[in-house]
Amino acid sequence: MPDLFVSKEKVQKEKAHDPSVEKTNAEVREEIHKREGKLESGELKYPKDEQEKKSLPGHSNNPLASYNYFPSKVDFINKDPEEEVILFLRKHPITNLKWIVLSFGMIVFPAFASVLPFFDSIPSNFSFLLVISWYMVTFAYVFENFLNWFFSVNIVTDERIFDVDFYNLIYRKITDANIDQIQDVTVQIGGGLRTMLNYGDVIIQTAAEIPEIEFEAIPMPDRVAKVLRELRIQEEVERLEGRVR
Amino acid sequence: MNFLDPGQLRDSGFFILKIASVVLLALYFVYAFIIVRQVNLMTQTIDVAFKKPLKVFAALHLIYALLVLLYAIIM
């Protein structure tokens, strides 16, 4: 006679301690490894404290780092208290080269512009006003580009992935998806500079409302894909064990 | 150095230019204020180290914009 009135928690507990289920999980893990390739480094190991975090390869205390593995002191809107940030990513710093070079040009421009005959015909009040206004605009240009780079981040936690894009000061887009909704991860590194500096795109296909999330121009995209793969395995194992959060 | 008196400025054709400068700089001051608000919003969205220097830079930029606007008015 089947147990019709057994509570769901009891069934989950029994499943969690059932050796035949644990064996199935190991078989599932093996299957996934065969399908997607075994990870060289093994399982994702969560550090217990800050000291252990500092010893992890890829961890950085630099607030301007583009790749940070288990970062310290990172928080974001709608983060669960139990959620652990595993990867904190930005675009590779080389993507800022264009506006940095232009900024240097803007800084030295007044020195060259003052030799133009146009400046002899305007009063000194105005030329001084023009110069200070020019440097004010230059500062705003540099600051805005820096902010766009600094705050456009990709975050991978143990439960979700986030893509935060600040296109300009008044337009931002935040996309997130659960790890268990990830269906496919593609790494794209194209071009000489990207190959040389090891940065590229990670394109993530999901079963969520937004079908594709793209981590653009991030350093070490292969390592990021590896971490995502391991997290998917962990989610699948948790789901089978009934430990879904 | 050829600095014009405000009185001379009124009589010359640069008065229109001055008005235009003040209007543009006033709009820029609004933009600088938006930068301060957006930096606060960004630091609330992503809370990382380095947020205090960014807020300071945004505030300094706003003060600078105000000083430039005042200079354009009294010039």
Domain boundaries, chain B: 25-74
Distances (CA, A) of A193 to A49, A94, A146, A188: 37, 9, 21, 13
In this prediction, residue A217 carries a pLDDT of 95
H or E element in which residue A130 lies: helix A124-151
Report the residue of chain A nearest B58, measured CA to CA: A143
Whether the CB-CB separation of B42 and B57 falls below 8 Å is answered with no
Tokens of A139: 């500062």
Of B1, B50, B75, the CB nearest to A63: B50
pLDDT digits (tens, 9 = 90+) for A17-27: 555 555 455 66
Residue A242 has pLDDT above 90, yes or no: no
Q: What is the mean pLDDT of residues A53-67?
A: 85
In this prediction, residue B49 carries a pLDDT of 83
Task: Say how many Å lie between the first and final Cα of chain A, rounded.
Answer: 32
Nearest to B46 by CA among B54, B34, B56, B58: B54
Phi, then psi, of B15 in degrees rounded to 5: -65, -40
Residue A198 has pLDDT above 80, yes or no: yes
Closest chain B C-alpha to A86 CA, distance in angstroms: 15
Chain A residues with beta carbon closer than 8 angstroms to that of B9 = 123, 125
In this prediction, residue A210 carries a pLDDT of 77
Whether the CB-CB separation of A223 and A168 falls below 8 Å is answered with no
**CB-defined contacts A:B, below 8 A:** 85
In this prediction, residue A40 carries a pLDDT of 43
In this prediction, residue A39 carries a pLDDT of 44
What is the C-alpha radius of gyration for chain A, rounded to an integer number of angstroms?
25
Q: What is the mean pLDDT of residues B22-27?
A: 95
In this prediction, residue A63 carries a pLDDT of 87
Return the percentage of chain B with pLDDT > 90, whole number: 56
**Model confidence band, residue A244 (pLDDT cutoffs 50, 70, 90):** low
In this prediction, residue A4 carries a pLDDT of 53
Whether the CB-CB separation of A125 and B21 falls below 8 Å is answered with no
